[in-house]
């Protein structure tokens, strides 16, 4: 009986820690993100909220987490650590101006030392293949999808991913529609295979989410803007 109580208390305390992370992440994004951009100058003055989240990311318990909790945690973790790496090297012109931004800089994630590439490619896409992740993982560049001003949560994650994909694929600077042409991010070229698994073409993939009928228009890719996504 005593052993069972210890197990239950441990599970409950772990659940509270996880919930605390998602609540705190939600407040963080709400405070420091506006119009899809990051208020880095404000964050520089109020750094403690970011530091607290980074600490929680390192201490997160993966063993007791469900798959949906892990997926939501890793999405938020990627976006938070992107901001963390920028702030560690701030001021910066953009992520590519920071040496090893994606493949060298590491942070503690649930007890593991991981780079951003490892979080994205190995922990997220390999474990939870989902092309919609391309629209919620934000790499600190203007060319990235607009960053959400809220945290992704285990409860309702599927709806959040669907709603956010619809939002991003109707964001006028991300999907640029004129009378006869649709210009899309090079994300669709770099990861074309991910989208073709769900649709017969990139254009038809975007069309299923866009409010306008895009079929029959010419598809072009605009140049990626690697400048810092600073508000």
Return the H-helix or E-strand segment holding 204.
helix 202-207
pTM for the whole structure = 0.92
Using pLDDT thresholds of 50, 70 and 90, give the confidence band for residue 132: very high
Q: With 90 as the cut, is the pLDDT of residue 86 above it? A: yes
- Inter-residue long-range contacts of 144-147, CB under 8 Å, 24+ positions, other chains counted: 144/229, 145/36, 145/171, 145/174, 145/185, 145/187, 146/35, 146/36, 146/37, 146/171, 146/174, 147/29, 147/33, 147/36, 147/37, 147/38, 147/79, 147/229
Q: With 90 as the cut, is the pLDDT of residue 4 above it? A: no
Mean pLDDT taken over the chain:
93
Q: Per the structure block, which two tokens stand in for 2?
A: 């005593």
Poorest-pLDDT segment among 9-13, 189-193, 201-205: 9-13
pLDDT for the residue 45: 95
């Amino acid at each position: 009986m005593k052993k069972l109580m210890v197990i239950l208390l441990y599970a409950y305390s772990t659940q509270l820690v996880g919930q605390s992370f998602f609540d705190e992440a939600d407040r963080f994004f709400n405070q420091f993100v506006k119009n899809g951009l990051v208020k880095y100058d404000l964050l520089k003055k109020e750094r403690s909220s970011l530091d607290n989240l980074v600490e929680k990311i390192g201490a997160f318990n993966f063993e007791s987490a469900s798959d949906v909790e892990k997926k939501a945690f890793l999405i938020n973790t990627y976006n938070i650590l992107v901001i963390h790496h920028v702030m560690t090297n701030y001021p910066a012109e953009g992520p590519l101006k920071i040496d090893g931004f994606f493949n060298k800089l590491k942070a503690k994630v649930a007890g593991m030392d991981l780079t951003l590439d490892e979080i994205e490619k190995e922990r997220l896409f390999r474990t939870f293949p989902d092309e919609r992740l391309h629209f919620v993982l934000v790499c600190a560049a203007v060319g990235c999808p607009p960053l959400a001003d809220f945290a992704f949560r285990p409860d309702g994650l599927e709806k959040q991913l669907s709603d956010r994909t619809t939002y991003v694929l109707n964001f006028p600077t991300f999907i640029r529609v004129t009378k006869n042409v649709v210009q899309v991010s090079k994300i669709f070229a770099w990861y074309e295979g991910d989208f073709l698994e769900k649709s017969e073409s990139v254009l038809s993939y975007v069309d299923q989410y866009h409010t306008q009928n895009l079929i029959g228009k010419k598809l072009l890719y605009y140049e990626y803007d690697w400048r810092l996504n600073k508000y």
